[in-house]
Each structure stands twice: as C-alpha cells, then as structure tokens.
Amino acid sequence: MNDFDLDQAREKEGGEELEFLCVRMTDAVYGFELPHIREIIWDSRITPVPCVPDYYEGLCNWKGTIITAASLSRMTGTKESGYGDQPVVIITETGTLQCGFLVREEPEILRVPADARLTGDTPDRIGEILKIKAAYAWENEVIYVIDAEETLKCMVIFD
C-alpha cells in the first residue's frame, strides 16, 4: 500500500523528538499534535443527533460548551460497534473550531524522532474527511499525524 521504508527511517538517529497524543486502532496508529489537544474526557455522555454524516456520534458537553463528537474509527473506515458505557473523547481545537473524537482505547503520548518522518507515497488523507499531515516510523508501526485544522474544516457542514 505504501512506498516508504520503515527500516530506513528507523536507522536515522539523533536530533529533535516530537510528541503526539496517539490512539492505536486496528488498522494503524493515529496521532494528534499536542497544541490542538484541549482535554481528554472519560465517561462522557454523547447525545445522538439525527440527519448528520455517519462519522458524527452526536453532541457532548465540554465545560458548558456543546461540541460535536465524531467517531475516529468511522472516519478511518474502521466500522466498529459502539463505544460502551465509557467512551474516551479527545477534545481538539484549532482556531474557532472544536470537536471531540471518540476512541475505544486510552490515548498515549508517544515521542518520535523528528527525522523519522516518512517520505514517498504517504497518504494525505484517510477516508473522506480525515486529513493526514505527516507519517512517522515508530518502532514497528507508522504513526499517521492528523492535520487537525484541515480535518475540522472538512467536518463543517454549511447549508
């Protein structure tokens, strides 16, 4: 699927490290840049909303502000049923746009060497909505860094 070499990227050494808030999913590891993360909420109540795209789970209350909650698995095309009684919501913000991303697993902060960025045939989007800013080699995996600004812009629905 991809034309980049994990071994070559892994061999590069030294330099700056980048930190991402990462979520392991069945198909890949997805990372958010830390400046766009506002909070992680456990056990948040999601209120379903009709007539919205499939990737929207509904709305949630974040410190008195009602924001949309989107399923990261649906955005990546990994259809998974439900989030149980205690979904994890990653609250992101860029400019004036805010969104909560629902995930199954507890997110973790991963440090990645800046020079482990993959080049070549790396995707710039996954699915129709999720924009990818960069891909990095990390251990035996690839971390796809979500372009929060572009993804949130794509999620805005105008009538």
Instruction: Quote the CA–CA distance of 72 and 104 in Å, as a whole number.
Output: 9
Question: What is the per-residue pLDDT for 80?
Answer: 61
The tens digit of pLDDT for each residue in 82-119 reads 545 567 999 999 989 999 999 988 899 999 999 999 98
Hey, which bits of 25-107 come out as E strands? 29-33, 37-42, 56-62, 65-71, 88-94, 97-103
Global pTM? 0.82
Question: What is the per-residue pLDDT for 84?
Answer: 52
Residue 159 near residue 34, CB atoms below 8 Å: no
* Mean local confidence (pLDDT), 8-22: 71
The domains located in the chain, with CATH, are: 6-155 (2.40.50.180)
Helices (H) and strands (E) in the chain, counts: 3, 11
